[in-house]
Structure 1
């Protein structure tokens, strides 16, 4: 386990921040380092309903080796492989001979790290507070009392205001270390949507057979089904030995649930409604379409102004059912780009929440607004890049610029067009080059702002900016572009 972490360029002394802030998942090998588990330890996975027991041992490199010789980094992958089904939370499934689950050892490790002397920094104190909150959330979840909060409030436990990829990965990892997950997935819904903190999934070996045709009874089961879908939908990353490592990756990119209207409720009518009821509901809400539901999960279709008009035009006495047309429903966790063909076909899509209830609706207008908002900072960043290159190429000597950006000649730079954003920063941070521009501006705040915009640019260009930090950066981008135009001539 890592004993220190870098904070503002300096190494922080060993302490709770070094583990809890790092944001990676606990590994079996971490238990070795802490003296909580020894290589060669025998493990058993007892099935709760059938009574069947699977055995394994812990190898010296921190993997779980099944009786048939297969090895897995992830306890969950090992449990699924041993049983031939899943999903299982491997940390609660595998236990020592005395019945102590691996999860108990993991919690001891987290407690030990949290109790270490703190360096006194804000990061260390924040991680200690968060550790206490997560422990309480797990205790409440185990007792069946799920803590509910908005995604925005959850992120605040980590001092975050948005979800880039690294931030999302840290939150997901630390939740997982405490045996927690959120329902719905915090990465797939809006910042102001509510999520519940749930504990480890249960052994579903018999439940899956006896309740396959039944509605989910609890949020716990819904969380289990959601995890199974994610685990079986695509193979996970493989280890050097070729086995799959099923540690869940946080959801990346824009999902259906990130759209504001996706989970905000939906007006509907039943299939026994009248034309007048549907007409009135659509007019009162300015809808162009209206779902037809005979229960929160029983989608019959939808009616639209077009389908109503066609039904009535064909037969003035037509029953309301004649106006019902096909409607398509998608999960809130689906990638937005993947559902666009269905949206093009139907013009709207109904959205299912984590329990498969119809919880919202998205339209072409919603998606157009989303992509329009996302595109705006991309366009401004492109303009900023052009303005920086213009200023440098117009006011500075190419040979001196190349000497700064590629002193060893490894990149073989020959023109200003080959410069990157990092090169612009390098050049403008150089006092001699700055003085050559002759601007009546202070170099440090100028280059500090360039660095802020670089971080925004990197988030956007790597599609990490789930919560559109680019929106907040738009005024900064515009101000910088205007300043470059004014002083760059």
Structure 2
């Protein structure tokens, strides 16, 4: 049994039909019957023919989603439908793919589903599963953290049981003092390892906003602790070790970092970081470790401070930390082609016995090699591949990914550890744009209704006297000023809204705080759960003033 998400349109426009008729509806206006498509290439051809103006990356992305809908989703699989009401529906698939030629365009590609429960409160779903549901794709699998079993529990009316591999001990670290005590209790040779998500939860935060990061770094520095790798790098599910960075050397003169670099059982990312630090020698090593500790604690010497900038790292993308499928030096070209056809890949990395990149084989490189020699082998079809380091600034690679469609990712030992595609960028940055678009619509609606209903002199009354003359409309107000403006009974009455004023103002203040947090850099995406207050306020504004 597998679990999937199938959305009902970008704005939930097919939601009611899905619930009323027991259907999953894939959309894709203008696309014909896919019943006879047996492979990804068949679907790719149908998509390319239906949308001739779309580029290869969009066609590839849509092909993957439709292949899941037509071929991969099976009867008895579970499916999740996020609803506009901010509730969640869960059903069981009961039929194969169907094409309804007599249905309205957008409702022709369907799967039959039995809805088991349609009013699951998102608060009963833990944040990691909600995060997984937050993809902007229409059709995708929930495959991480035991998702299928957890969705099954939700379908039975039970609360989300949480990750099967959840760190129960980490859940006991409810405040920084407990984390400090645990690190001290374990000693230098048995470091505390946990996910960045669990580490942040010790301070009661979910994202690495600058203010939160600065507070955590300051608290760590005060206790002489560091994290390896830095908790500011990697995804929320990356593993880190918390060490006593200032601990004195042992009897052999070795630091905790050096001793731990030869340990087994530590997460690979932690071992990589420890190995890199321990591989340095003498004064260089000590200087590097002091500098690393200072960077992690936020206390850099003045001469080094200017080189430390906030950056969005390659490692912050989930796909950069997921080993891609590959072929090895010495494999046949037929093996590479078979994998590429089966998986719908445009290219595959070619690795040596140590997992290091030796090149890339693609359909283009295969075609060129076969033009020169019909019997060309894998080596002849292998070309140089684009390779980024996990610690590189992601923005430096965006142009390359747009041009070539991908970049491979290497770890500290120069071994391939991930693959970023143009599709990954689209999803990642689309997720990041969504909160800004949502807040912008809220502001636009507030501006328009205030300008229409409230006199200019009342608007100016909530602005400091020295700036009032420069206010010509609601567009000149800060977001926070709307709360002060609508607290005034006369102004509130002018809106004519039949809703509770105090609840609205409370929602407006919560949205103001959310908006302010967006203005500060964080490498972590905003989850659907974190968007709920702003989404709720926007739905309320749309309801009370639908013509704005």
Using structure 2 for the length normalisation, give the TM-score.
0.56
Partner of 1:220: 274
Q: Secondary structure at the match of 2:215?
A: helix
1:113-171 residue CA offsets vs partner (Å, 9 max, x unmatched): xxxxxxxxxxxxx999422423432564622x233221111112112222222122222
**What is the Cα deviation at residue 291 of structure 1?**
1.2
Q: 2: CA distance between counterparts of 1:272 and 1:459?
A: 52
Q: Secondary structure at the match of 1:244?
A: helix
Q: Kindly indicate whether the alpha-carbon contact (under 8 Å) linking 1:389 and 1:416 is maintained by their aligned counterparts in 2.
A: yes
**What is the Cα deviation at residue 221 of structure 1?**
3.3
2:416 to 348, 358, 364: 358
- Taking the TM superposition and a 5 Å limit, the aligned residue runs for 1:62-73 are none
**What is the Cα deviation at residue 307 of structure 1?**
1.3
**What is the Cα deviation at residue 379 of structure 1?**
1.4
Structure 1 residue 130 corresponds to structure 2 residue 189: no
Partner of 1:164: 209
Structure 1 residue 460 corresponds to structure 2 residue 514: no
- Residues 346 and 378 of structure 1: is their aligned pair in 2 closer, same or farther, counting only changes over 3 Å? same
Q: How many residues align?
A: 348
- Residues 320 and 230 of structure 1: is their aligned pair in 2 closer, same or farther, counting only changes over 3 Å? farther
Structure 1 residue 372 corresponds to structure 2 residue 430: yes
1:294-333 residue CA offsets vs partner (Å, 9 max, x unmatched): 1446321111122122212321222321111111222223
Q: 2: CA distance between counterparts of 1:280 and 1:478?
A: 45
- Residues 191 and 129 of structure 1: is their aligned pair in 2 closer, same or farther, counting only changes over 3 Å? closer
**What is the Cα deviation at residue 274 of structure 1?**
1.1
- Residues 139 and 333 of structure 1: is their aligned pair in 2 closer, same or farther, counting only changes over 3 Å? farther
Partner of 1:448: 506
Partner of 2:89: none
**What is the Cα deviation at residue 393 of structure 1?**
0.9
- Taking the TM superposition and a 5 Å limit, the aligned residue runs for 1:198-217 are 198-200=243-245
1:421-452 residue CA offsets vs partner (Å, 9 max, x unmatched): 12212211233322332322221111111111
- Residues 334 and 245 of structure 1: is their aligned pair in 2 closer, same or farther, counting only changes over 3 Å? closer
Q: 1: CA distance between counterparts of 2:222 and 2:455?
A: 54
**What is the Cα deviation at residue 361 of structure 1?**
0.7
Q: Kindly indicate whether the alpha-carbon contact (under 8 Å) linking 2:460 and 2:468 is maintained by their aligned counterparts in 1.
A: no
1:56-89 residue CA offsets vs partner (Å, 9 max, x unmatched): xxxxxxxxxxxxxxxxxxxxxxxxxxxxxxxxxx
Structure 1 residue 480 corresponds to structure 2 residue 534: no
Q: Kindly indicate whether the alpha-carbon contact (under 8 Å) linking 1:293 and 1:299 is maintained by their aligned counterparts in 2.
A: yes
1:469 to 526, 531, 544: 526
**What is the Cα deviation at residue 399 of structure 1?**
0.5
Q: Secondary structure at the match of 2:321?
A: coil
1:12-57 residue CA offsets vs partner (Å, 9 max, x unmatched): xxxxxxxxxxxxxxxxxxxxxxxxxxxxxxxxxxxxxxxxxxxxxx
Partner of 1:407: 465
Superposed CA RMSD in Å reads 3.8
Q: Kindly indicate whether the alpha-carbon contact (under 8 Å) linking 2:435 and 2:526 is maintained by their aligned counterparts in 1.
A: no
Q: 1: CA distance between counterparts of 2:382 and 2:490?
A: 72
Q: 2: CA distance between counterparts of 1:455 and 1:253?
A: 23
**What is the Cα deviation at residue 174 of structure 1?**
2.6
Q: 2: CA distance between counterparts of 1:285 and 1:292?
A: 16
- Residues 229 and 289 of structure 1: is their aligned pair in 2 closer, same or farther, counting only changes over 3 Å? farther
Partner of 2:363: 305
Q: Kindly indicate whether the alpha-carbon contact (under 8 Å) linking 2:347 and 2:363 is maintained by their aligned counterparts in 1.
A: yes
Partner of 2:75: none
In structure 1, stretches of 5+ residues that fail to align are 1-125, 209-215
Structure 1 residue 265 corresponds to structure 2 residue 319: no
Q: Secondary structure at the match of 2:360?
A: strand
In structure 2, stretches of 5+ residues that fail to align are 1-171, 259-269
Partner of 1:244: 303
Q: Secondary structure at the match of 1:149?
A: strand
**What is the Cα deviation at residue 337 of structure 1?**
1.3
- Residues 199 and 317 of structure 1: is their aligned pair in 2 closer, same or farther, counting only changes over 3 Å? farther
